[in-house]
Amino acid sequence: MAVRLNENAEIVAKIREGLKRKGGYCPCRLEKTEDYKCMCKEFKEQIADPDFEGYCHCLLYYKSKE
């Protein structure tokens, strides 16, 4: 299992800019709750799932099975 940043540098830059504006909370979510603090609860749960492979909600991170 490996977690990496999206290979698209433009997406990474935009999401990081949004994270700065929102104080570390997911820029794709309206609410500022601990569940949406980057790395969000949803993606942490997906990382824990050995069968999950894919991007987090905002496309910043990618989890591969390898």
Structure tokens at 39: 């790395």
pLDDT in tens, 9-36: 999 999 999 999 999 999 989 999 999 9
Q: Give the per-residue pLDDT at 66.
A: 72
- Which residues, 6 or more positions from 21, have their beta carbon under 8 angstroms from its beta carbon? 27
Query: Cα(17)–Cα(20) distance, rounded to whole angstroms?
Result: 5
Q: Residue ranges per domain, the chain? A: 2-64
Indicate the pTM of the whole model.
0.88
